[in-house]
Amino acid sequence: MTHHLPPAPTDQYVALPDARLVTTRALLAARENLADTIAARAMTCIHGGAGFGKTIAVTSCLRELEPDQDIRRITFHTRPTLRTVRQELFTALELPGRPPRYAGEFDHLLKNELAARPRTLVLDEAQWLSGDQLEYVRYIWDDPYTRVAIVFVGGEGCHQTLRKEPMLSSRIFIWQRITRLTPEEVLDVILLYHPIWADADPHDITFADNHAAHGNFRNWARLTAHTHTALERTGRTRVDREVLRWAFSRLGSTG
């Protein structure tokens, strides 16, 4: 598993030709927040519901902000042990040899490595971390010699999980909650997201959002893929409600 930022083509939720990364208000805010966090070598938390675009915002902005810098990403899929967190850091930092057996030796090695040069660590799905593990991250960051910025990224529950740890939460430099696209944003950004929406009737875009996408960018990605398929199979050149209803049927939505 690579612990570097993924390549730009993987930013899209589904492989869809001509899909573009669009600049939302949340992405603009994330770009500014991440730049300020990195400059301060601080900790920040970017959180929100599933499919709202947290990970894409963070990875695309970091890729742009620090093209020549050392950024490592760790994604937690289940609740890890503290030993696992140490080992994930060891692997992400590409340290040679075998991980140390004893905690004190392990911590000394990690802190020395993180003091050697500026780093940015992205801890994705941070809601899986327990209090002890979050305290360990704070302990590493708090060392006066380490030179690391830490970006916590997480879904529902991440904000509450970090807030439960006073010593950590009091050190969070910036909190950013990413929410659904507003109806106004949908009309602004979906037109730019993919060419099939460029000449669509705005009322049909609103119809699609109300019945299937609900301001969720992951939903919009799936809907766009199915709508694109419907246009190709029917030979139609413009989105209409019949095409949309066929796409809704694949998403388990009705219109």
Domain boundaries, the chain: 8-178, 183-251
Q: Which CATH architecture has domain 8-178?
A: 3-Layer(aba) Sandwich (3.40)
What is the rounded distance in angstroms from the CA atom of residue 90 to the CA atom of residue 166? 26
* Each residue's pLDDT tens digit, 196-212: 999 999 999 999 999 99
| One-letter amino acid for residue 245 of the chain | R
* Each residue's pLDDT tens digit, 102-161: 999 999 999 999 999 999 999 999 999 999 999 999 999 999 999 999 999 999 899 999
| Cα–Cα distances in angstroms (integers) from residue 172 to residues 39, 51, 64, 204, 236, in the given order | 14, 24, 23, 42, 51
What is the rounded distance in angstroms from the CA atom of residue 18 to the CA atom of residue 196? 9
Taking the whole predicted model, whether its pTM rises above 0.85 is answered as yes
Phi, then psi, of 121 in degrees rounded to 5 = -110, 125
